Amino acid sequence: MIKVLVAEDSPTIRAFLTAILESEPDIKVVGAVSDGDAAVQAVQKLRPDVVTMDIHMPGLDGFTATREIMETVPVPIVIVSGAVQDEMAATFKAVEAGALAFVRRPAGLGHDDHEDEADALVTSVRLMSEVKVVRRWKRPPAIAQRVAATQIEPDPLYRPRVVAIGASTGGPVALQTILGELPADFPLPVLVVQHIAYGFVQGFADWLNAGCALPVTVAVDGEEVMPGHVYVAPDDRHMGVDAFGRIRLDNSPAEAGLRPSVGHLFRSVAVQYGRRSIGVLLTGMGSDGAEGLCDLRALGAATIAQDAASSVVHGMPGVAIERGGAGHVLPASAIAGKLVSLAG
């Protein structure tokens, strides 16, 4: 059983969320509290596997409660937000404080979106329960030796023209770290696919933009990619580029249930730029983008995978490393410096 603590100030919504979660046979709500102070105390007493956290609560708000929990008795925290503008900034502050995921508060019974949004909440709780806050693992020596033996440096005659980055669980903070350290004169466009809950991408881009010297925007179909600009894939659209250096968004089928997918972006970049590109795969569950990073490296492109120690979940980059797709394995804090160096 997955033990869940629900923190929500509204009695009605608290009961609503509890009913959704307890309708699943593998989930048990072990506590439901109305403010941040009670959430901190309940985590210490009940030791839940996951906490669903409201942002706006009396006394200790969701951001502060998240920070205190992560500093005392770390547990995976899922922010349940209304996905409206006044909650966006607080939601991403909670992510900075250690929350692993955020989902839209499910619409009420009878609403067209209720079933999908309730499923998204349940899925997020199940996935986060497996993380156990920070999952660490070391690469077997044989893998480390194989990766080192096959490392390829990009041909200096082919200067990179684009950076493509993929991320999932834990990605927002890793991206904030990387993009925040890129200088204002960084010469390449940066294309980003981040697996994110529906409705949050504009707030995500705004949050990144506030801490970045480069302009960060949600990508628009047909716009030209410009040096020193960051483009984030929008909700429910695959993102790629065409032969003329323009963003291409499409509604082709989801890949392993994901749209946008990192794999789609990496394939598109491989076709249009080949070795004149840099691929970066960050923390996240699953294997999205791992095969694409291998393809980029095979073409002679520079490739970077986030290391296990700095990843919240080392699934995506870990698979790429195992398959020999990572030319460089780095902590998030070192990736910006490597990008500046590779960009010349």
Give the residue numbers annotated as catalytic, written as ranges. 168, 195, 288
**In a 3-state reduction of DSSP, which class is residue 38?**
helix
Residue 300 CB neighbour total at 10 angstroms: 17
CA distances to 27, 75, 84, 213, 247 from 185, in Å: 49, 39, 33, 9, 21
260: preceding bond cis by omega (within 30 degrees): yes
Query: In whole angstroms, what is the distance from residue 222 CA to residue 245 CA?
Result: 9
Parallel, antiparallel, or unpaired for β 27-33 and 238-241? unpaired
Q: Are 336 and 175 in contact (CB under 8 A)?
A: no
Are residues 229 and 192 in contact, defined by beta-carbon separation less than 8 angstroms?
Answer: no
- Tokens linked to 83: 């996905």
Strand order from edge to edge, sheet including 77-81: 27-33, 2-7, 50-53, 77-81, 101-104
User: Do the Cβ atoms of 311 and 283 come closer than 8 Å?
Assistant: yes
| H helices present in the chain, as ranges | 11-22, 36-46, 62-72, 85-97, 114-129, 141-149, 171-180, 201-210, 262-273, 290-298, 315-322, 332-343
